[in-house]
Structure 1
Amino acid sequence: MLELCDITAGYDRRTPVVRGISLTVAPGEAVGLLGPSGCGKSTLARVAALLHRPDAGTVILDGEPARRWRHRAPRDLRTAFGVLFQQPRLSADPRLRLAELIAEPLRATGRRREIPARVGELADRVGLGPELLARRPHEVSDGQLQRACLARALVLRPPWLICDEMTAMLDASTTAALVAVVESYRRESGAGLLAVGHDRTLLTRWCDRTVRWAELGGSAERPRTR
């Protein structure tokens, strides 16, 4: 079970963008989090994936409260999440070829021997041919790059997926293809899913249940100050 308990979070303690939010995702369940752009749902998704430390509240994963975040989180918790963001170009190292991008988590966890087989398997699964695997991010489309990012998110076989508006920049056919890959993986693995977005139709069709941001008592996210 993934439990977000009374989470308050933001980028400035004086003006939190998420206030007192609680949400649960059961193993194997697909939960959609529906809300308008800028409401704070992406911040909550980052907290759920242990990528952003909340100011208050608790994240509990399979009964274990998270006490550290980002690279300081224990490896078994940190690698339990496959995360896919809205803008693939902001989450991909422009120096890496797509094959290297997909292999990043394996390399970081000392599982280099698995790289050839897993990269080939997942590239085929997401629809990337050998000629695309040899290219760098600036040489492919947003849709092709997001396919590589999805393969990267799945490469460690995570039991939890966080998809933060992963299809917002994609056309309808690519959206359908990527959602199909996620659902195929979930059927095989029993992974739980938190899908964040503002497309009610997509989330309703995709997820077992959809929660509106307003139902959680969420407040509007305020712009970050630089």
Structure 2
Amino acid sequence: MSSTHLLADRVTVGYGRQVVLDDVTVRIDRGETVGLRGPSGCGKSTLARVLALLHQPDQGRVSIDGTAVDAVRYAVPVALRTRVAALFQSPRAAADPRLSLTDLIAEPLRATRTPESVVRERVAELADLVGLTADLRGRRPHAVSDGQLQRACLARALVHRPDYLLCDEATAMLDASTQAHVAAVIRDYQRTQRAGVLVITHDQTLLDRWSDRIVDLDRPAYETVSSK
């Protein structure tokens, strides 16, 4: 087992009396792509939120390269929480409608008190990377398409150069050309940064093409069911 990995270790999560994850263990090594599949309601998105340090499990824990993370969101030290990023299915649910695309991308940097000169440089770099032209960057979410907004959300996810990127149906709402572009940006980022990537999707073709191994949440012990 790689010593550099993002790990959900024996995680249990419930909402009221309904248990959606029961003693789940999933590991993502640096540099690999793990596909995650299972029927609707089996807890895939909940697991993504737990791994993204957005939801505290009822039992079990998350660790990054062997360091246990016992808090969520801004209670997690900056040096740890910025190592994991997530890209979710709905960009409109993830984006503050009051912010321009430029400010949307910049917000995580400003939250960590990054100098404004560095913020401007990084935002411009990432906007170019994801294909956001200058005329789009000043617009707010209501004035751009879902595909353009998801590109901005991808840039935002990469802004701290995370070691682990969690993609929860991240291309499901996009047209084919935007899907291909987003996937290409993520693959290039993974290759250059040796990032670990989790891909959650119902698209079996995408899972087969992209994943180094696939974990099925609908199987006993959440086993790896295929591997290249």
The question of a shared fold, defined as TM-score above 0.5 by the shorter chain, is answered with yes
Stretch moving more, 113-122 or 98-107: 113-122
Which residue does the alignment assign to 1:66? 69
Aligned-partner Cα distance in 1 for 2:168–2:145: 19
Q: CA deviation at 1:37?
A: 2.6
* Pair 216,181 (structure 1): closer, same or farther in 2 beyond 3 Å: farther
Which residue does the alignment assign to 2:112? 109
Stretch moving more, 86-95 or 196-205: 196-205
Which residue does the alignment assign to 2:225? none
Q: CA deviation at 1:104?
A: 0.8
Asked if 1:159 corresponds to 2:163, the answer is yes
SS of the residue 2:54 aligns to? coil
SS of the residue 2:218 aligns to? helix
> How is 1:58-97 mapped onto 2 (pairs within 5 angstroms)?
58-97=61-100
The share of aligned pairs that are identical, in percent, is: 56
Amino acid aligned to 1:119: V
Q: CA deviation at 1:215?
A: 2.6
Q: CA deviation at 1:163?
A: 0.8
> How is 1:188-207 mapped onto 2 (pairs within 5 angstroms)?
188-207=192-211
Q: CA deviation at 1:10?
A: 2.7
Asked if 1:30 corresponds to 2:33, the answer is yes
Indicate conservation of the 8 Å contact 1:21/1:216, yes or no. no
Higher strand share: 2
Indicate conservation of the 8 Å contact 2:20/2:41, yes or no. no
Q: Deviations over 1:21-79 (max 9, x none)?
A: 11111111110101233221000110011100000012111111111111111111111
Runs of 4+ in 1 over 6 A off after TM superposition: none
C-alpha root-mean-square deviation of aligned residues, in Å?
1.2
SS of the residue 1:50 aligns to? coil
Taking structure 2 as the reference length, the TM-score comes to 0.92
Which residue does the alignment assign to 1:142? 146
Which residue does the alignment assign to 2:226? none
* Pair 24,133 (structure 1): closer, same or farther in 2 beyond 3 Å: same
Aligned-partner Cα distance in 1 for 2:172–2:7: 26
Amino acid aligned to 2:56: R
Give the unaligned 5+ runs of structure 2.
Answer: 223-228
Amino acid aligned to 2:19: P
Taking structure 1 as the reference length, the TM-score comes to 0.93
SS of the residue 2:109 aligns to? helix
Indicate conservation of the 8 Å contact 1:102/1:151, yes or no. yes
Aligned-partner Cα distance in 2 for 1:213–1:174: 28
Give the unaligned 5+ runs of structure 1.
Answer: 219-226
Q: CA deviation at 1:198?
A: 1.3
SS of the residue 1:156 aligns to? coil
> How is 1:167-178 mapped onto 2 (pairs within 5 angstroms)?
167-178=171-182
Indicate conservation of the 8 Å contact 2:166/2:197, yes or no. yes
Q: Deviations over 1:158-206 (max 9, x none)?
A: 1110111101111111111100000001111011111111111111111
Asked if 1:208 corresponds to 2:212, the answer is yes
